[in-house]
């Protein structure tokens, strides 16, 4: 019989839904009993009649190492002497219906390489971290008032050795980090690194929630990748999927013969559009499992944040379902009450355990207060993806410029709600796959216009309030949409247009990081002021980005047509001399070179609600950034 006050207390918290480190209770851990070293196995399977640990060490014979059920709520434990790191194992479970099932460990830290599905014993305390400076600096960093530009990355299709054969995390560190650092990104966001059976699920349909996918190496290899990112000044965000899991037989589905991790009610359990199952958010042990999993990734792997996938699918009972496929909640609504409560509980726990982390919600509806604290009724995230901005802007940019004036509201509407949440502006993998075309190929016009449109779009994105995210390939104008079974078309960089876009991305980032007006007040209304949002006839908008210091103000003028406008009047907030510090139309970026090379002196004549104005050249399909560099008395109009 296993005894111990700490163990009993942890088991109590686990069943109460309040054990934030359940991965230290359950799973496979090195232990010593009666002077013998071995592995302690623990698993939650309340409906099982019998549970055994099986593997090559006992010829997969469940009669050899049965586990002991130590409480009525279904925690089973066994200590196997002589086993060590690298041991392959599963749990053999006899269900109430008399069936034997072989299941991977829900709390395994490592797994066999697909198509094999067993768990692998892997202690997590062997890696010596070297990112102490980064972790200490992170504690004092205010992300809301700092630049944040995220490079979204699917490792297996960034570069590979050959199809379905990938580099190791350590090799990726040597390739990815210098590239991302050179381009000026502040963070990497990785598509899910949890173990998953099918490559083309991209990690979004997982079987091993605590297991780093073996496609790219071991847990220590992944720690090395994160460690090297931090040493290079790059944060790491992980895509995390608490909303649903896949149905593969060795995974969580009907784990002990009954619905355990998933809802027992099929109308709540089934994610029909994805062929997956929804976690039972009302079940205490599932809450402990998921909250521990979030804490685990952030603490064990020093990750800087989690991007929480498909939050809307958790919040709404009718998400992706037809009439008759779902049931109203107890109040007659379509909200999933227990999922809402779970999300708040999860975020509260995460920020108590890791106060300096990022929790980003991919939430595609108008649910209020997603990034507000739980104590005022919010969901408790600190960032939300701005899916409305993304949809509007991509729709607008795909139009022929001649039609854009009829849809001018698409580029201005986002400012009505830009400060209602702490937003990230995302151009993610979902927007460049499944026939949606690459970002470059969405752009209308001839070859030159496609690149000009892309430069203008990226410049407007970086001028717009909110942090930034761009999926890999967009930084050099990949022509084909994302091919998840191939790597990026790196050979395009042999062509001037694509090499120029890469250089453009680099210099855009440099300008972005150097200008506090573009990020210091990202989430406050005083960080943005319209100059002219209404010039739909010419598809031109102009606005001011403000920082805490008026000297850092930027005036941004965007032209979404291929027409050049000379002597164009723009109202400006301060008297003085303005210089064009960045232009998307610069010749070395592949533009037409319609620049404002000389300082623009203000004219003391009101225009567009401002007390003075400048006259400038507005480039075709171009964005100009103007900064006041000196004070003068102003001329007369």
Active site residues: 309, 362
User: C-alpha angle 124/128/129, rounded to 5°?
Assistant: 100
CA atoms within 13 A on the CB side of 32: 3
By CB neighbour count within 10 A (0-12 exposed, 13-18 middle, 19+ buried), where does 503 fall?
A: middle
Place of tokens 């990022």: 358
Q: Which two tokens stand for residue 139?
A: 């504690």
CA gap 225, 219 in Å, rounded = 10
Q: Are 421 and 525 in contact (CB under 8 A)?
A: no
Q: Are 564 and 597 in contact (CB under 8 A)?
A: no
Q: Which residues contact 564 (CB under 8 A, 6 or more apart)?
A: 592, 594, 617, 618, 619, 620
Q: Quick one: how many helices (H) and strands (E) in the chain?
A: 16, 30
Q: Which residues contact 279 (CB under 8 A, 6 or more apart)?
A: 242, 243, 244, 245, 261, 262, 263, 286, 290
CA gap 124, 338 in Å, rounded = 33
Q: Are 591 and 584 in contact (CB under 8 A)?
A: yes
CB atoms inside a 10 Å sphere around CB 236? 22
CA gap 148, 14 in Å, rounded = 36
């Amino acid at each position: 019989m296993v005894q111990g006050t700490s163990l009993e207390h942890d088991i109590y918290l686990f069943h109460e839904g309040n054990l934030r480190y359940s991965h230290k209770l359950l799973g496979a851990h090195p232990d010593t009993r009666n002077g013998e070293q071995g592995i302690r196995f623990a698993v939650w399977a309340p409906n099982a009649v019998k549970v055994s640990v099986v593997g090559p060490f006992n010829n997969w014979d469940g009669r050899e190492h049965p586990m002991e059920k130590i409480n009525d709520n279904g925690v089973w434990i066994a200590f196997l002497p002589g086993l060590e790191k690298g041991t392959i194992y599963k749990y053999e479970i006899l269900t109430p219906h008399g069936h034997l099932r072989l299941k991977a460990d829900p709390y395994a830290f490592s797994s066999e390489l697909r198509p094999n599905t067993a768990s692998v014993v892997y202690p997590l305390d062997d890696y010596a971290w070297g990112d102490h400076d980064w972790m200490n600096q992170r504690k004092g960093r205010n992300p809301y008032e700092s630049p944040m530009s995220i490079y979204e990355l699917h490792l297996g299709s960034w570069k590979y050795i050959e199809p379905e054969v990938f580099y190791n995390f350590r090799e990726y560190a040597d390739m990815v980090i210098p590239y991302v650092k050179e381009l000026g990104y502040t963070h990497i966001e990785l598509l899910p690194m949890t173990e998953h059976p099918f490559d083309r699920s991209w990690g979004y349909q997982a079987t091993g929630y605590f297991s780093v996918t073996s496609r790219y190496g071991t847990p220590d290899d992944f720690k090395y990748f994160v460690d090297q990112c931090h040493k290079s000044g790059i944060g790491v965000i992980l895509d995390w999927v608490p909303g649903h899991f896949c149905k593969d037989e060795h995974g969580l589905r009907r784990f002990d013969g009954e619905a355990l991790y998933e809802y027992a009610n099929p109308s709540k359990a089934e994610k029909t559009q994805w062929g997956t199952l929804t976690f039972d958010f009302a079940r205490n042990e599932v809450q402990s499992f998921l909250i521990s999993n979030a804490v685990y990734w952030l603490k064990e792997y020093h990750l800087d944040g989690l991007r929480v996938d498909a939050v809307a699918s958790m919040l709404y009972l009718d998400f992706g379902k037809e009439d008759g496929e779902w049931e109203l909640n107890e109040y007659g609504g379509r909200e999933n009450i227990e999922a809402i409560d779970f999300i708040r509980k999860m975020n509260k726990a995460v920020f108590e355990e890791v106060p300096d982390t990022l929790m980003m919600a991919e939430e595609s509806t108008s649910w209020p207060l997603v990034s507000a604290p739980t104590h005022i009724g919010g969901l408790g995230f600190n960032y939300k993806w701005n899916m409305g901005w993304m949809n509007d802007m991509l729709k607008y940019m795909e139009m022929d410029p001649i039609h854009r004036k009829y849809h001018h509201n698409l580029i201005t509407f986002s400012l009505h709600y830009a400060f209602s949440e702490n937003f990230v502006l995302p151009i993610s993998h979902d927007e460049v796959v499944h026939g949606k075309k690459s970002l470059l190929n969405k752009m209308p016009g001839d070859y030159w216009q496609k690149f000009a449109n892309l430069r203008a779009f990226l410049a407007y994105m970086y001028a717009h309030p909110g942090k930034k995210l761009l999926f890999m390939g967009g930084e050099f104008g990949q022509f084909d949409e994302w091919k998840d079974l191939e790597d990026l078309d790196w050979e395009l960089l042999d062509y001037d247009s694509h090499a120029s876009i890469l250089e453009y991305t680099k210099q855009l980032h440099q300008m972005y990081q150097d200008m506090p007006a573009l990020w210091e007040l990202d989430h406050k209304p005083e960080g943005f002021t319209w100059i002219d949002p209404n010039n739909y006839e010419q598809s031109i908008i102009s606005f001011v980005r403000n920082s805490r210091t008026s000297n850092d103000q930027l005036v941004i003028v965007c032209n979404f047509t291929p027409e050049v406008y000379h002597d164009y009047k723009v109202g400006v907030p301060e008297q003085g001399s303005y210089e064009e510090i960045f232009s998307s139309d610069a010749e070395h970026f592949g533009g037409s070179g319609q620049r404002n090379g000389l300082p623009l002196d203000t004219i003391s004549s009101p225009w567009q609600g401002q007390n003075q104005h400048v006259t400038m050249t507005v480039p075709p399909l171009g964005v100009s950034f103007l900064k006041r560099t000196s004070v003068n008395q102003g001329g007369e109009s």
